[in-house]
Structure formats: structure tokens, C-alpha cells
Amino acid sequence: MPWRTEQIRATAVVVAGVIILCVMALPLLTGSVYASDDLGWFHLPLRVFYARSLAAGDDPAWCPNLFCGFYLQGEGQVGMTHPAHLLLYRLLPVSVAFNLELLIGYPLSFLGFYLVLRSHQLPSESAWLGSFICTFAGYNLLHYRHINSVAILAHLPWLLLAIRHTLQDGARGAAWGRLAVGLLTASQLTIGHPQTVWYSALVESVYALALAWHGGRGIAPLVGLAVAKTLGILGGAIQWLPTLAAIQDSIRQAPTWNGVTLGSLHPLNLVVPIAPYLFAARVYGPEVPGLPLGVAANLQDWRMHEYGMYLGACVPALLGWLALRWRNLGTGRSLAKVALWISIPALLIAFGRYTPVYRLVTQLPLVGYFRVPARYLLLVHLAEAALVAVAYADLCRVVERREKPPARLVWLWFLPLAALVAVLFVPLLCRLGLPGTPVVPLGSLFQRALGVILVLMATGLVVLAAQGKRRALLAIVLFLAADIGYYSLSYMRDHSIRPIAPYLQEAALPGGSSGMRVWQTGETENAPVAAGLLLEGGYAALAPRRMLPEGHPKTLQLEGVGWEVSGRLPRKAWNRVADPLPLVRLVATAVATTEPAQVLDTIDLASTAMIEPGHEAEMASGPPGTAELITERPGAFEIRSVAPDTRLLVVSESYHEGWSARVDGTPVERLRVNGDFLGCYVPAGSHRVTLQFAPASLARGRVLSFAGLSLLIGWTVAVLARPRPGDRLVPAPHLGVRQSQSSHVTI
């Protein structure tokens, strides 16, 4: 049987998606990894540490390689307690596990968003097209560097499907739906990017309210959904509870206006959907007052993935068609309304510092800590994809039924005209040099012209299709796939793909690790962690607060810094730093102070330590004694001390409330020493001192997660085990169809 034209169009979109996935998977086939930006500076090194800890049987919750010791579980972005991460990094080589973690979210999103759109009675080719945009355009692919954000977003379509079952199925189907909502929510939270979880929850909330409104089944299903979501949140406590604790100890504890509005979407970027290559960096992002970022006119500029608004030249044309046909959309109109409810507020919030609305957002608990308001573009992109799916379905319906095109079709030609005006007006504005005129690095004349041509071609294809040309429908699909594929994949440039072995070698200290810490001047990254080096600083979202001045010679001495290096990979020059103090030592003199930074230059650090007032102890004068490090593992020290009298044991490992100290197995008070470090008193004689990191936030998180998941599973089992002879599946209405009080659906 010959294929129908709609099957051909659907297959074309699927094939395009598979091709993009195959191109993205090339590093997996060559033993290489994506190592650009946050992938190489943050994610990959910490996953190397994570894999090594799992292989050695160590607890990776504490990372001794960052910030003189760092609560990595609290930082969260490695997702160390997620079952998938535990399996990937325990069973597979790091390069394979890292590639799979990066890639797996894309096919899950592609299939999931397709099923969501199909559940609203959209034709297959339209559902695939909308899912293609969700997966491979805008936020989702441009943020490939934020590997955990993409993974969390991949949960969203499956959460929406679970919400449908929860609100619109019978008791047994709703029970399975609630279970899926809870488990998927817990999974999102344990991946460790709460900002994306927040965006997902916003979409879920609007979607659930819309379904409840149109379903007409009362408040009970919504209550059940809320309970399941709450239990899922509780199930993720093993991650979010340590993260809350880490926030309180981090530089993000008191966010500033400039900090939280870093990455606000400048309104000038509104021309990007119709002028994709107008700017040299494809987007425009001015410097933030107080936080100079520089202007980098290249595709690797970080603002590209934060401000990118281009979803393909066909998208504005199809949205224009949607506006012309708004009153004739039929059932798709309600889905379009929900998309608009999501996108318009999200776009306003994305402007950040450029709109007063964002001041209200910063007042929200926890949400006020999130930076880069432009990331709300995620919601805009998802909504646009749904709108395009509705528009394309309507366009196909008009063509197949040979309906007369709308009389106002000529209005679509204003899109290429607007694109032309944009590429002419913005350069003119820059040349005039008027007060307040932005400095905008522009693309080449060819690039600017290319954007106009793309919009002109896309508009022409939509107009041809509206006039009854069936082949134009397939041409729209192919054109959009090629346009998005080039735009998105060209951002994942070749130089960001690197073999993992040279990457590790470049990060290593010449001659191997010396046991001394490394001080990075200028820009910092975590790459040396992958080579096993110990850093006095590092790169993390929740970097810890310090009491001592960073980079001060005596601070470096206390930190045990023996090497200094500047710049990023590849490393070319290493310099020795003089007089680093050993990691463990005994001192016979202690000075009580609440301001260690002020006392730092007044004492002999080799023989004297600073402690908090109220923790002084009698120590006789004389030699300090010796301290020998017996074993050191992440979050665990074993030390042998030999002292003539009571002495203060100083360990150049970052202080944290989660540390406990024992002398010969007997608990003793652990102390904050020298402002930022760890210590305890040891008695005279030879003793065995053990220091163990076991934070209360992680222990409580485990208990809460177990309780939440147990209640969720127990609730599901109880519902499924209860006999319900009258229970039957109720057909799920799509948005826009009100369900009567009976179990029937009225269309």
C-alpha cells in the first residue's frame, strides 16, 4: 500500500530527528567527549571524581579536590544519588557514561513531547513537528552544556502524560498516574538543577489546571495530584535538603540584584526570530553593571545558549498563519490558549532587569536565588512548539480539504519585510551613535542577508501551502529541519569535542600530583580535579563563603598551596608557591578571634592557630608534637598524633558542620580553626584521630526520601489492591472539550 502524504511528512520529521541525534552521538563512537564551557570546566571533571569514588567504594558527598574540601552533594549538579547516574558511572567508562548522560534526554524528549501532542488529537506529522522543535531547537539543544538541565526537561512530557492519567482516568489509571508523577518528580530533583525543576513545575501546574477546568471532574483529582507531587518532592529530599544547607554556607546565601538579574534578556533580542544572523554572536547581551562580562562576538559566547530565541524561520510564518486562522482552529484553539497562558508571562519574566515584574519574582522563596532570568525562555519555546504544531495541523487540514485560503494571507509577507527592516535599522542605529545606543557586534553582510532570505523562503512556503500546494507542506518540514539542524548543531562546534585522554593529561601537574594544593589565578575551572589535583578554589554555583581573604599569601600558606597556574587548558606554565604548610599539624598556641582575616598577618602560622572564642583550652608551652596522616579518603581522615601535652590538631581541610572527630574512638569536639579550616584538641601521648564527614542534611534527606517514596508506593498498592468492579477507563477529553457530569465525553 503506498504511503499517504501525511505519513511521508511524519517520517521526514522523525528521520531528521534521528540524523541530528546521530550527529550528536559522534563523540561516543570515537572515544571523545563534549568539553566546552561548563561541560569541561565543571561537569566532566566532577563526574571523573564521582566515577573514581564509586570504583574505590568511597562516598563522593565530600570532594577534597575543590575549595580545600567541598560538600559536593549539596552543590548537587552531579546528581550522585540518581539511580541512572549510579549505574552509568559505576559500570561504564567515564567517556561512555558522560556521552550517554548528555544524549539520553533528547530521544526521551522527542518521543515524550510527540505523545503529549498526539494526546490532544493532533495529526502525527504535526505532533512530530512540534516535538522536533521542543527537542532540537531553542533552549533544549542550546543548553546541551547544562547536562542536568536537559535531563530534567526530558522528564516534562512524561509528567504531562502522567498528569492526564491522574486527572482523567478511572481509579486504577489515576493511581498509576499519581505514582508516575511522584517518581518522575523525585527523579528530577535528584538530578540536581532545581531551577529547571521549577520551570517544569510551572508548566505542569498550568497544564493540570487547564485539564481540570475542561475535564469537569471536580477538585478530588487535583487534590490527589497535589499529594502525589508532594510525596515526589519528599522523595527528592536526599538532594534538595543538602542543597538548602549548602546555599546557607555559600556565596549565594545573600543574593544581590545584579547577581540574580545576571543574564536578563535584552528586548533587542526580539528581532532574533526573524533576523537570526543579525548579531555576530547571534544574540545581543550587554554588560551588566557591577558584573562586567565582556562582549565576545563568537558562537561560543555564553549568551548564545541563554538568549537564543531562534526556532527556525518557519516558526514566525506558522505563528502568523495561526493568528490569521485563530477563529477557525477548532479543538486546537484551546491547546493554543494554554500555550499562550504559559508563554506571555514567561517572556515578560525573561526580560529580568528590563521589566519591573522580575522584582516580584525575586521575592519568592528559593526562586529568588535563581540567576539568568532569560532561562524562562524555556517556557516560551515549549509554548511556541505547541503553537506551531497546532498551526501546521490547521494548515494541513486547509490543504487536504481544499479550503479557500484566508483573505488576509497577504499579511504574512510583512514578516520578511520586518526582517529586512531589522537588518537595516539596527546597523543604522549603531552608526548614529546616539546616547544610550547599544554597542552591538553585527554579523557579516552575507549573514544578515541570509536571515532575511530564510524568512522570505519560509513565508513563501506557508503561502504556497495555504494556496493548496501539497508539496509545500513537505517542503516546510524539510526546510524547518535543515534550518534548525544547522543553527543548533553549528553551536556544538568541533573544537568542543575532545578525546578524554589528552584532556586529562593537559589538566595534570607536570610530574604528577604532589599532594599540595593548586591555586588558579584568573579564571577558574575544575579540570585539574579530573587529573586528581587538589584545588584551593574551584568553579561551582554554590561556592562556599570564606572568612580569609582569597589569594592572600598567608591564606595560600594555610591552604597548603604549593603550585600556582593561570589561564585555562591547555596548561603551559606552572609556578611553585613557597612555604606551604602541611595538611595536618599540631600547634601549641591558639588565639581566639571572630575576625581571623584581621589577625592573619599578626601571628606565626606555623606555630599558632586561630579559633573561635569560647573554645580555648589550656596548652602547656613546649614543642607542638607531631601529626602524621595515615589514610585520607574523600570525607575521611585517619591521623596519628604524638604530643607532649594537650595540643590543637589543625587540618587544612574546609570546615563544615558535617564533620565529626574522634580520638581513639571517643567523640571529641570538632573546631573551626583558622577561620575556614578543621581541627580538634588531642591529649598528650600517642593517639589515633579520625575525622568523618557525615552531614545531618544528607542523613535527614535519606530518611525523608525513603518515607516519601514508601508512602507513594504504598498508596498506589493500596488503591490497585482494592477491588473495584465498577471501575472503568474514562476516555480522556482533549483541551477544549468539557466533560459532562456523567462519564461520557461530549464533542
Q: Residues 615-658: pLDDT tens digits?
A: 988 888 889 999 999 999 999 999 999 999 999 999 999 999 99
pLDDT at 331: 73
- N-terminal to C-terminal alpha carbon distance within the chain: 32
pLDDT at 436: 57
pLDDT at 503: 77
Give CA–CA dist 120/735, Å, rounded.
7
pLDDT at 262: 86
Name the strand (E) or helix (H) holding 196: helix 194-215
Name the strand (E) or helix (H) holding 363: none
Q: What angle do CA 189, 194, 197 make, to 5 degrees?
A: 70
pLDDT at 297: 35
Give CA–CA dist 579/358, Å, rounded.
49
pLDDT at 350: 95
733: pLDDT strictly greater than 70: no
The mean pLDDT of 476-499, rounded to a whole number, is 86
pLDDT at 629: 94
pLDDT digit string (tens) for 32-75?
A: 999 888 898 899 999 999 999 999 999 999 999 999 999 999 99
Average predicted confidence (pLDDT) for the chain: 88
Alpha helices in 25-138 (DSSP H): 26-30, 38, 44-56, 72-75, 83-91, 94-103, 105-118, 124-136
**Short-list 553, 392, 336, 396, CA closest to 5:** 396
Pairwise pLDDT comparison (439 vs 117), residue with the higher score: 117
pLDDT at 299: 36
Pairwise pLDDT comparison (493 vs 161), residue with the higher score: 161
Most confident of 222-226, 405-409, 427-431, 526-530: 222-226
pLDDT at 156: 97
- Please state the φ and ψ torsions of residue 553, each to the nearest 5 degrees: -55, -40
pLDDT at 162: 96
Residue with cell 547536562: 147
Give CA–CA dist 430/138, Å, rounded.
27
Coil/strand/helix, residue 637: strand
Q: How many CB atoms lie within 10 A of CB 220?
A: 10
Q: How many CB atoms lie within 10 A of CB 161?
A: 19
Coil/strand/helix, residue 229: helix
176: pLDDT strictly greater than 50: yes
In eight-state DSSP terms, residue 442 is: B
Coil/strand/helix, residue 91: helix
> Which residues are CB-contacts of 230 (< 8 A; sequence separation ≥ 6)?
none
345: pLDDT strictly greater than 80: yes
Cβ proximity of 574 and 565 under 8 Å: yes
b/e per residue 394-413 (b: at least 16 CB within 10 A) = bbbbbbeeeeebbeebeebe
pLDDT at 434: 52
**Short-list 319, 317, 403, 308, CA closest to 350:** 308
pTM of the model: 0.91
742: pLDDT strictly greater than 50: no
pLDDT at 741: 35
pLDDT at 743: 32
Cβ proximity of 396 and 346 under 8 Å: no
295: pLDDT strictly greater than 50: no
Residue type at 163 in one-letter notation: I
The mean pLDDT of 358-365, rounded to a whole number, is 89
Interstrand relation of 517-521 and 534-535 (parallel, antiparallel or unpaired): parallel
Domain boundaries, the chain: 148-250+695-727, 255-467, 584-694
Name the strand (E) or helix (H) holding 593: none
Give 584-694's CATH code, choosing from 1.20.5, 2.60.40, 2.40.160, 2.40.50: 2.60.40
Interstrand relation of 608-611 and 589-592 (parallel, antiparallel or unpaired): parallel
Give CA–CA dist 410/408, Å, rounded.
5
pLDDT digit string (tens) for 307-330?
A: 999 999 999 999 999 999 988 887
Per the rule left: phi > 0, alpha: psi between -120 and 50, beta: everything else, 743 is: alpha
State how far Cα 301 lies from the chain centre.
Answer: 18
**Short-list 483, 490, 517, CA closest to 653:** 517
Q: Give the three cell numbers for residue 107.
A: 530521544
726: pLDDT strictly greater than 90: no
Give CA–CA dist 535/531, Å, rounded.
11
**CA distance readout (Å), 625 to 579, 586, 607:** 20, 6, 11
pLDDT digit string (tens) for 568-613?
A: 656 567 788 888 999 999 999 999 999 999 999 999 999 999 999 9
% of residues, the chain, pLDDT over 70: 91
The mean pLDDT of 162-185, rounded to a whole number, is 93
132 confidence band (pLDDT: 50, 70, 90): very high
The mean pLDDT of 114-140, rounded to a whole number, is 94
**Short-list 40, 53, 41, 39, CA closest to 85:** 53
pLDDT at 171: 87
Q: How many CB atoms lie within 10 A of CB 641?
A: 23
CA dihedral 19, 24, 28, 34 (to 10 degrees): 170
pLDDT at 735: 58
pLDDT digit string (tens) for 555-576?
A: 999 999 988 887 665 656 778 8
